[in-house]
Amino acid sequence: MSMFNLFMEKLKLEVDPDEISQEEFVGKFNEFIDASANILIGSFYENTEKHIRSKGIEDNIFLENHKKIWRAGLEKLEILIEVCIDAGSNFNKNRRRSESDAEDFLLEILVRLHAKSCAIANEILYLLKGGFADASQARWRALHETNVTLAFISKHGLTCAQRFIEHEVVDSYNGMKIHKKYEHKMQAKGPSVEEVEVLTLHYKEVIKKYGKGFEKQYGWLEPFFPGINNPGFQSMEKDVGLDHMRIYFKRASQNIHTSFKTLTKTLTLPEFDPNIINVGPSNYGLVDPAHSTALSLVQATCFILARNSEVESVVLMKALTFLTDEVGITFLDTAKKLNDN
């Protein structure tokens, strides 16, 4: 019996369906839907608790096997990440305190961008250990964006850093407008009238200071690209010599933005099979996200180490370059063995 027929049978036991108003009928029907939904939730718990326990055992078996397969590469990548974290931490602790507050401000921004890169790399490592290659590649996109931004600000200095920081007012202002527009649908109260007034005032001040172009998504870039209308992230990539990573960026974007390609292309299968749609972890596809992560994190680390002319920094940069190559080779060797088997 269909759910609607069940409802009608239940309704007939309570009232004559022909004698109630449409409003009463809708009310009764909504009560039936709510009650049925609660019963269904109970069945979820009753029927899936055993399944979840069983799945947990399967997941642990998979993870043990997955880590056994990729242990050598994962360990080298983890070592690389830890060395980069230590390098950033030591740079921050040991950097010479300049007499210029402006120089300290610039270095503070670079250190924070590097720390963000390290945090993202750790997130990627966790996803790789779990067998989520597509998610790892998608997260690498954020690492690449952070790396490019760090390189760009390091190249163009204090003025660039100041514009980057003050553009946060534009981002906050735009976010505030969206929040206020949809606060009722979101059931999340937006900023108060006073908060809106304060942020709007700050917004007008930065636009007055930097010009109308500052209101654009990448408005903080304009002075550094006088011959380009509406410069953006690709402009930064080319400026710092990282535009050759664009193809990897595009591939990573496929795991963020939806297109037909995202439905048919995945790193998690050894070859495309139209009869298989993978919705869980996999042993396949770790090479590109792992090596890309190593490359981008080491680049970000070298951008801050290069500001220190001491021999120790040069040696560390060279060692990190060697380790990056080892990470790539190790992951590639493992993938070949996995495909052969």
Instruction: Write down the pLDDT at residue 150.
Output: 98
Per-residue confidence (pLDDT) for residue 96, from 0 to 100: 59
pLDDT in tens, 284-308: 999 999 999 999 999 999 999 998 8
pLDDT tens per residue, range 140-166 = 999 999 999 999 999 999 999 999 999
User: What is the reported pLDDT for 176?
Assistant: 92
Q: What is the pTM of this model?
A: 0.88
Query: What is the C-alpha to C-alpha distance for residues 172 and 179, in angstroms, rounded to an integer?
Result: 10
Output the pLDDT for position 14.
83
Please tell me the total number of residues recorded for the chain in this structure.
341
Q: What is the pLDDT of residue 97?
A: 58
* First vs last C-alpha separation in the chain: 51
Question: Cα-atom radius of gyration of the chain, to the nearest Å?
Answer: 27
pLDDT of residue 226: 92
What is the rounded CA–CA span in Å between residue 260 and residue 76?
A: 35
Of 164, 130, 124, the closest CA to residue 297 belongs to: 124
Q: Contact at 8 Å (CB) between 266 and 113?
A: no
**Cβ-based neighbour number of residue 305 at 10 Å:** 22
Distance CA 70, CA 92 (A): 33
Mean pLDDT by 10 residues, the chain (341 residues): 82 79 87 89 80 87 96 98 96 70 86 97 98 96 98 96 96 92 87 90 95 95 92 96 92 83 82 80 95 97 90 94 97 93 77
